[in-house]
C-alpha cells in the first residue's frame, strides 16, 4: 500500500493508471446503477476525469 502512494508521489505510471481505471469503472457504474439519481448525474464527470487522467498518466515513466 505504501508502495502505491510512493508511486503516486513519484508520478509513476502504474499506480496512477490504476487510479484512473478505478475512476472510469466508478463512473461507468454510477451511470448505470439503479439506486440514486445523483450518482447518475455525476457519472459523466467522473468518467470524463478518469479518461482524461488515463490519457495523461499513460505517458508517465514506468
Partner 1 sequence: MSEKTVDRVAGATPVLLARKIKGLSDRAIAWIFVGPTIFLLLAVNIFPLIWTVNLSFTNFKANRINRVVDYVGFSNYERILNDPDVWLSMQATAHFLFWTIFFQVLIGFTLAWLINKKFKGNDVWTTIIVLPMMLSPAVVGNFWTFLYQPQIGLFNYVIGFLSGKDASSFEMLGSVDLAPWSIVIVDTWMWTPFVMLICLAGLRSIPDYIYEAAEVDRASKLRQFFTITIPMVLPFLMLAVLFRGIENFKMFDLVVQLTGGGPGSTTELASIHLKREAFEKWRTGYSSAIAIILFVTVFGLASIYVKALNKVKER
Residue for cell digits 476525469?
49
User: Are the beta carbons of 14 and 7 closer than 8 angstroms?
Assistant: yes
Where in 23-62 is the site for partner 1 (CB under 8 A)?
24-25, 27-28, 31-34, 37, 40-44, 47-48, 50-51, 54-55, 58
* Residue linked to cell 439503479: 34
Q: Out of 4, 8, 12, 17, point to the residue binding partner 1 (CB under 8 A).
A: 17
User: 43 with 31: CB under 8 angstroms?
Assistant: yes
Residues that bind partner 1 (CB under 8 A): 17, 21, 24-25, 27-28, 31-34, 37, 40-44, 47-48, 50-51, 54-55, 58
Amino acid at each position: 500500500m505504501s508502495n502505491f502512494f510512493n508511486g503516486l508521489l513519484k508520478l509513476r505510471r502504474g499506480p496512477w493508471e490504476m487510479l484512473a481505471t478505478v475512476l472510469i469503472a466508478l463512473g461507468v457504474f454510477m451511470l448505470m446503477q439503479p439506486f440514486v439519481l445523483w450518482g447518475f448525474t455525476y457519472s459523466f464527470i467522473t468518467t470524463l476525469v478518469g479518461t482524461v487522467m488515463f490519457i495523461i498518466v499513460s505517458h508517465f515513466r514506468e
